Every structure is written in structure tokens, then in C-alpha cells.
């Protein structure tokens, strides 16, 4: 099983998400929970499409860190 980083951002209409390791794999939703569910489906479909096309499925390589900064 592979674990991919998902970046989720607030938008004016809800949320959007993408995975840096899976270019073109994106999803949206009204809230974070819906966006995560949609992104899980998008990642599964993206990986399956790569597999069907005979393309390499990228290994996860992105990581995330929160940094605290003085205001």
C-alpha cells in the first residue's frame, strides 16, 4: 500500500485538493470531509488509469510540515 500526501485548500466555494506526487489528480468538495472522500476516489481512479495505460505509478515522495512563525 502506498500513502500519498494530499494538500487541501479552502476556496470561496468550499475546498479543493491535489496530490503533488500524482500530477493532474484533483478533487473538490463543499467541506473538508467531502473533499477527502472525493480525493480518495480521485486517487484510486488516477492510479487505475495509469495502470490501464501501462504507465508507471509514481512512488510517494512528498512530505508536509507545519512551521510556526512569529506574527
What per-residue confidence (pLDDT) applies to 1?
A: 87
Give pLDDT tens digits along the chain (71 positions): 899 999 999 999 999 999 999 999 999 999 999 999 999 999 999 999 999 999 999 999 999 999 999 98
CATH level 2 (architecture), domain 7-52: 2-Layer Sandwich (3.30)
Domain boundaries, given as residue ranges, for the chain: 7-52
What per-residue confidence (pLDDT) applies to 63?
A: 95
Residues 6+ apart with CB under 8 A from 26: 16, 17, 18, 39, 42
Q: How much is the pTM?
A: 0.89
H or E stretch at 41? helix 32-52
Amino acid at each position: 500500500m502506498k500513502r500519498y500526501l494530499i494538500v487541501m485548500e479552502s476556496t470561496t466555494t468550499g475546498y479543493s485538493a491535489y496530490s503533488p506526487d500524482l500530477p493532474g489528480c484533483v478533487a473538490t468538495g463543499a467541506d473538508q470531509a467531502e473533499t477527502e472522500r472525493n480525493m480518495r476516489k480521485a486517487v484510486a481512479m488516477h492510479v487505475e488509469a495509469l495502470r490501464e495505460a501501462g504507465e508507471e505509478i509514481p512512488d510517494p515522495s512528498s512530505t508536509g510540515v507545519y512551521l510556526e512563525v512569529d506574527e
